[in-house]
Structure 1
Amino acid sequence: MQIPYQPEIFGITLKIHLILEYLAFFLAFRYYVILRRKSKDHISSGNRLSIILGAALGALIGSRLIGVLENPLVHISEVNIIQLLNTKTIMGGLFGGLLGVELSKNIIGETSSSGDLFVFPILLGIFIGRIGCFLSGTNEFTYGNVTDSKFAMDLGDGLSRHPTSLYELVFLVLLFVGLQWLRKRANLKNGALFKVFMILYFGFRFGIEFIKPNVFYILGLSTIQLLCVICWLYYSKTIAKFLLGRQLR
């Protein structure tokens, strides 16, 4: 199979990343519905719907905003502006969704933690989306730097690069298994699983950004890495508990 993978049906070239992106949303939501049916959700259906809407709106705004901030020095033109407005990133979506949830909970007066039910559907959605990123090769800005590593691949431009999307797929599988083990074995406080997910995923993304062709603007960090730092500050109390050896209960 050649990367970028561009299948054709009846003479029409399919955008495999877009297809898998829509599939990721659909399957992740169905997975969430199944998990909610099997669990004892302590949040009412009306409040849960408000939380989902807040998450969706926050994710939409966050993904676009961070996508634009990743390219702050782009030449202003009609084509580039349209391309920027279509740029989005899962990192901005996750953190924007988090803020959207907190805002919606404040509005409706919901005080219970709501994130744990979203953890595994989010992981599934990211996993499917990253397959699309890998198959798109250098058509998507998710590829790595040129390298002579034994893991290097030609992602469509004739150069041997880090297949960072594949690295992330492996990490997501390990994270899924690890969080499932943690959920079953540890007596976690409600909402702690989501916090652990965010801290670990943002930690992975912070590290892998160093082997991607980013522009490092402030303190030698890229926009995504600065967002990771903001996320860690947001969860600083949780991180402090972990470092002090306290259980997240």
Structure 2
Amino acid sequence: MAFPYQFDFFGEKVYYHFIFETAAFFIGVRLYYFLKKRQPDAINDINRLWILLGAMIGALIGSRVIAMLENPSEIAHQTWMTFYQNKTVAGGFLGGLFGVELIKKGIGVKTASGDIYVIPIIVAVFIGRIGCFLMGIAEPTFGNETTFFTGINLGDGLNRHPVALYEMTFMALLLLFFIRIKNVHLINGDRFKLFMVLYFLYRFCVEFIKPYHQLFLNLSSIQWSALFIFVYYWKFILRVLKIK
């Protein structure tokens, strides 16, 4: 078999990416409910559902907007279908953050709500990236051509950085890290903030080995999203680094 990996289903070609993307969502949600039953939640069930709804709507919009901005020269040629089909995880996280904060402000919830999502998100992204990797260069998660030993032919005859595999490795390390600090006492909300900062730090750096398009000042839309996250969580970052 060759990239992109697919199979026949009643005469139709189906990409494995769809299978893993669906599995990522399903397993992530089930893992969230599994963890929720095993730890106290200061937010009641109704408000938690509203927060989940805000996260999903925000992620749906944010993932498409940031993906659209990844290729500025094509914005004028966007159709509704291409806008909807193109998406990025980083934009989903950014939009989800906005969605949650807007909903929480609307329903009057001031308690930090993100810690319980960290492990499910990490697991879901790991599973989803398996599908991205199996798409080869048909999915915009491939890197530049390289002579490094990790280079893989993703379908165009060139050895490229397998960015999806890099992210899977990073997510596996994040999972081990957050399991390791499971019993460490942290301020409520700090685990989610730490996840966001670490993930967007990774995304900021990995963009330099991808064929990205400049949005402004030689940085991509994802890198600008990362800078926004760093500014948004600047107090947390300074506190963790113990800078007064």
Please say whether Structure 1 and Structure 2 have the same fold, judged by a TM-score greater than 0.5.
yes
Q: Which residue of 2 aligns with 1:50?
A: 50
The amino acid across from 1:223 in the alignment is: S
Contact 1:29/1:121 (<8 A) preserved: yes
Contact 2:69/2:75 (<8 A) preserved: no
TM-score, scaled relative to structure 1: 0.94
Q: Which residue of 1 aligns with 2:206?
A: 208
Q: Which residue of 1 aligns with 2:59?
A: 59
Secondary structure, counterpart of 1:7 in structure 2: strand
**Unpaired stretches in structure 1, ≥5 consecutive residues:** none
Contact 1:68/1:85 (<8 A) preserved: no
Deviation at 1:12, TM superposition (A): 2.4
Alignment of 1:109-188 (within 5 A): 109-184=108-183, 186-188=184-186
The amino acid across from 1:193 in the alignment is: R
Taking the aligned partners of 1:69 and 1:81, their CA distance within structure 2 comes to 14
Contact 2:152/2:159 (<8 A) preserved: yes
Consecutive aligned runs of 4 or more in structure 1 exceeding 4 Å deviation:
75-78
The amino acid across from 2:99 in the alignment is: G
Secondary structure, counterpart of 1:194 in structure 2: helix
Contact 1:58/1:101 (<8 A) preserved: yes
The answer as to 2:122 corresponding to 1:98 is no
Contact 2:145/2:160 (<8 A) preserved: yes
Taking the aligned partners of 1:232 and 1:36, their CA distance within structure 2 comes to 28
Contact 1:130/1:168 (<8 A) preserved: yes
Q: Cα–Cα, structure 1 residues 30 and 162, in superposed 2: closer, same or farther, change >3 Å?
A: same
Secondary structure, counterpart of 1:14 in structure 2: strand
CA RMSD of aligned residues (A): 1.6
Taking the aligned partners of 1:218 and 1:68, their CA distance within structure 2 comes to 14
1:136-178 deviation line (CA, Å, top 9, x unaligned): 0011011000111111000011111000111111110001110
Secondary structure, counterpart of 2:72 in structure 1: coil
The answer as to 2:6 corresponding to 1:6 is yes
TM-score, scaled relative to structure 2: 0.95
1:16-65 deviation line (CA, Å, top 9, x unaligned): 11221111111100000100011111110111111111111111111111
Contact 2:70/2:215 (<8 A) preserved: no
The amino acid across from 2:19 in the alignment is: I
Taking the aligned partners of 1:102 and 1:22, their CA distance within structure 2 comes to 26
Q: Which residue of 1 aligns with 2:40?
A: 40
Secondary structure, counterpart of 1:38 in structure 2: coil
Deviation at 1:179, TM superposition (A): 1.2
**Unpaired stretches in structure 2, ≥5 consecutive residues:** none
